Structure 1
Amino acid sequence: MPILTPEELLNYLPLLSLEPIQAEGVIYRAQGIAESGYGANRNLEITQYIDERDLLRVGDFRLPNFPLLSDPAPSIQIRDFGLVGYGGLIPQVSQWIDLESDSYNVDYEVGEIRFLNTGLINNINVYTTGISLGVRRPRNYPMHKYPPPKLRITYTAGYDFSPNSTSPDVKKMKSALAAMIEVLVTKGAQGIKSETSDQDKIEYFSASEQQDIKYLDYLAIFRKYAPRTNF
């Protein structure tokens, strides 16, 4: 779904003289820039993501993309882990298996998953680190570290850009995109020599430096929605 519809664009810019097909084209152009490396560096609409990484510790993991949606709820799978029993080590499990829901909590407001040191997670922690947290250690627990298990989180995140959305973030992005489009179609913005989002290159020869600054200011708004790196 585009951030703006042609009808919404005319509401923001009533003096803009564009045919519907032209409006769709300039919206697509501006949104492509807004979602490129210059801006959000991601798809902003509701999208399903699959994130795979090593489970290095028990604790909080903040998902890169936000806001996190509860429908469908995130699903978590794990593989390449071994178990510790009172009879010793159980060989590694190489296929993906679903992690029990009581092994983690989901904070939808923050977009964070907290893995709890209970059940399977605790057993894996013993196998991986040789340390049992809060439970009695097995007799034959490992005395050295093992490779960490693999984790796969499937989740849905993004924004609903339907015209009737009441989200403050959505309204802010719609307004910023309309402002970008206004700059793109004015004479001052004709000074934008080229735009190549995939190569991270924008060249300017505009006579209006103020227009260029405004254009970059609007892109800065979208950068606030870039994926988080402290996962």
Structure 2
Amino acid sequence: MEYNRITNIEDPLFKQMHQLMQDVFPPEEVLEFELWKEPLEDPGIRVFVAVHEGRVVGATEYRYYEDFNVAMTDFTIIGQAGLGIGPFLAQKRLVDLHALAGEHGKKLLGMFAEVYNPYHVDHYEFGGIKPMDPYVRREVLAHLGYKRLDFPYVHPSWNNDGEAVTGLDLCFLPMDGELNELQTDLIVKFLKRYYTVLSNKPESWNKMIENLEEKTKVGLLAL
């Protein structure tokens, strides 16, 4: 299996990847094809696909914030069971992120990720691909060491229509497995930076940020 980076919307592998996203994710979670041009060309956004026998069978997008010394996993797609795509992507991604932090003379603090909470929202089928089942994904993240940040989480729809997307938890994978809380300042700065591209944010998101700013730390709980 190959781990190939995509940096151009004209890359034939990107067309396969975008179709895979449409097959797997709810419509409000998928950015339109043409709108991917700038993100793919942004050196800070890393989009990789798992290619098996010439076909895109998985993908992951993530980014490293040097000033925060944290990463964010935007998404991980497993397009087929039985190929070991999940472990392959997770291992390759972590190697890449440790190398990026090392280039800046740092040791990676950790990585954020959003994950669906199937105990609250269970109607997502994710293209009928069992490894993408919300219960499975949540348990996999727990095994990888991710922890849930202890506050009610919403995020702005990627349609930039001002709608709030609920049914998700914001999680964090600490490289120090003993870490059980995060500074709220880091969380707020990260979320503001991450969602800068969306100008039309729901009021519930703004309220969430305000509530976080009133605290100093947020606990990390088991998924």
TM range (shorter): under 0.3
RCO higher in structure (CA 8 A, sep ≥6) = 1
**Which one has a bigger Cα radius of gyration?**
1
Higher helix share: 2
Q: Please, what TM-score do these two structures have when normalized by structure 2?
A: 0.19
